[in-house]
């Protein structure tokens, strides 16, 4: 039994290393977007907000202060049943053209955010939709860079980078490094022509493609998935029309979770999307990574418990894991100008073993809390 475990661990460690190196190739394959970029399309920036009165003013100001032709820009904010002053803050910008939609739905549902985005798309004027979140910040060239790249690439869907910033603790800095890894995986998948994931805090797509895909139909019962599962719908038909905007000017900045409880809740929500994946390759990729971490955890526990023959196998797997992760994440930290975070990689690499094993199971069972709601 121990011998079988050893062989499985080494086999999955090698598979993991090959996958990570393949993803590094995908990131390197994406050309850096060059500024300045020209643009001609009308754009609707859509934000679904719930109880964001403390954050949304900063986001609105960042969008209204873009170096972007105002006649091509429309900003729509949907208040998702907030019980604070979110709507009142948004109304302060009515004279500057910011539009407010208030949801007033009876009954419980899981997919409030998808409903909010769909409602805004039904009445928006833009040819290109951009979604972001109510707690995000952008540089002044964000919109021009994203839309310029969108038009240059003749994309149907464009994913762009999201980075955590303004961390207040060691835990938040650790999340920033881990989140760079996730954003890099999404970009690398696109670079390898195998789109797997993206982030709705910085996502653009053509309005007519959204309509053609039936919007969120088929994925609208899940609280999450307005980004990744919609990406999969587009990729199923138009994989060659999906691109990534690799530019520092295109980065959207947001905040890490302040505590472990909110972090776990967020990641359970993200993991819940995996039950709806139709692409068997994406499912196989996720299972392979999860199994590697479970095998590594099990072997480490047995080694610590006295099974000495496993020690060298565990050490080899750990060193291989850390080495390929360093090779992958180093260019990502350079891109985000956060190379100092590389010092946290050994801690993150070890923590990931426990975290992925735990979330892989918990994310697909039961309910979790999201913005004061129990969803599943």
Give residue-wise pLDDT tens across range 34-69.
776 788 999 999 999 999 999 999 999 999 999 999
Residue 343 pLDDT greater than 90, yes or no: yes
Residue count of the chain, please give it: 376
Read off the pTM. 0.91
Handedness of CA 202, 119, 230, 277 (dihedral sign): positive
Domain 31-169+187-265 classification at class level: alpha beta
Q: Crossing angle of helices 345-362/311-335, nearest 10°? A: 100
Helix, strand or coil for residue 193? coil
Q: How confident is the model at residue 328 (pLDDT cuts 50, 70, 90)?
A: very high
Tell me the per-residue pLDDT of 67-82, one tens digit each, with 9 for 90 and over. 999 999 999 999 998 9
pLDDT band at 373 (very low <50, low <70, confident <90, very high): low
Does residue 330 carry a pLDDT above 90? yes
Residue 224 pLDDT: 67
What 106-112 contacts at long range (C-beta under 8 Å, 24+ apart), as own/partner pairs, is 110/221, 110/222, 110/223, 110/375, 110/376, 111/216, 111/220, 111/221, 111/222, 111/223, 112/48, 112/50, 112/80, 112/81, 112/223, 112/373
Q: Which residue has the tokens 């910011």?
A: 98
What does the pLDDT average to over 151-171?
Answer: 96
What pLDDT, in 10s, does the model give residues 275-327?
Answer: 666 667 777 778 888 899 999 999 999 989 888 888 999 999 999 999 999 99
d(CA 333, CA 324): 15
Contact assessment for residue 66 and residue 43, using Cβ atoms and an 8 Å cutoff: no
Ordered by start, the domain boundaries in the chain are 31-169+187-265
Give CA torsion, residues 165, 171, 177, 180, to 10 deg: -60
- The candidate with the shortest Cα–Cα distance to 187, out of 335, 321, 315, is 335
Q: Given this model, what pLDDT does residue 374 score?
A: 55
Which of the residue ranges 271-275, 299-303, 363-367 has the most confident prediction, judged by mean pLDDT?
A: 299-303
How large is the average pLDDT for residues 315-340? 96
Between CA 264 and CA 96 the distance in angstroms is 38
Q: What is the pLDDT of residue 272?
A: 67
pLDDT of residue 262: 86
Structure confidence by residue, pLDDT tens digits, 209-267: 999 999 988 877 776 678 899 999 999 999 999 999 999 999 999 999 999 888 888 88
| pLDDT digit string, tens, across residues 171-223 | 999 999 999 999 999 999 999 999 999 999 999 999 999 999 999 888 777 76
- Quick one: angle between helices 280-304 and 311-335, nearest 10? 130
CA end-to-end distance (rounded Å), the chain: 37
- Average pLDDT over all residues of the chain: 90
Residue 365 has pLDDT above 60, yes or no: no
- Per-residue confidence (pLDDT) for residue 260, from 0 to 100: 87
């Amino acid at each position: 039994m121990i011998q079988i475990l050893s062989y499985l661990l080494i086999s999955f460690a090698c598979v993991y290393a090959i996958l990570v190196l393949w993803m590094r190739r995908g990131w390197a394959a994406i050309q850096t977007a060059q500024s300045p970029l020209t643009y001609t399309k009308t754009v609707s920036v859509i934000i679904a907000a719930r109880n964001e009165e403390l954050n949304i003013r900063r986001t609105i100001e960042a969008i209204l202060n873009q170096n972007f032709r105002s006649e091509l820009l429309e900003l729509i904010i949907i208040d998702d049943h907030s019980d604070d002053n979110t709507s009142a803050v948004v109304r302060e910008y009515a004279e500057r053209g910011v539009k407010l939609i208030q949801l007033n739905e009876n009954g419980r549902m899981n997919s409030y955010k998808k409903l909010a985005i769909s409602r805004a798309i039904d009445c928006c004027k833009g040819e290109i939709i951009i979604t972001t979140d109510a707690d995000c910040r952008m540089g002044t060239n964000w919109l021009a860079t994203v839309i310029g790249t969108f038009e240059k690439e003749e994309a149907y869907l464009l994913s762009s980078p999201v980075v955590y910033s303004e961390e207040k603790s060691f835990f938040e800095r650790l999340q920033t490094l881990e989140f760079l890894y996730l954003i890099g995986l999404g970009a690398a998948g696109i670079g390898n022509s195998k789109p797997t994931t993206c982030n709705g805090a910085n996502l653009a797509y053509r309005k007519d493609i959204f309509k053609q895909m039936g919007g969120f139909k088929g994925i609208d019962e899940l609280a999450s998935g307005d980004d990744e599962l919609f990406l999969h719908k587009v990729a199923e038909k138009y994989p060659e029309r999906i691109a990534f905007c690799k530019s520092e000017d295109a980065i959207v900045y947001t905040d890490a979770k302040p505590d472990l409880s909110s972090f776990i809740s967020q990641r359970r929500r993200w993991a819940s999307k995996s039950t709806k994946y139709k692409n068997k390759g994406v499912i196989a990729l996720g299972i392979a990574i999860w199994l590697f971490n479970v095998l590594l955890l099990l072997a480490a526990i047995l080694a610590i418990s006295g099974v000495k023959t496993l020690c060298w196998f565990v050490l080899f797997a750990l060193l291989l894991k850390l080495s390929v992760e360093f090779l992958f994440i180093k260019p990502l930290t350079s891109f985000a100008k956060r190379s100092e975070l590389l010092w946290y990689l050994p801690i993150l690499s070890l923590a990931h073993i426990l975290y992925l094993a735990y979330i892989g199971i918990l994310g697909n069972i039961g309910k979790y809390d999201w913005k004061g709601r129990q969803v599943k």
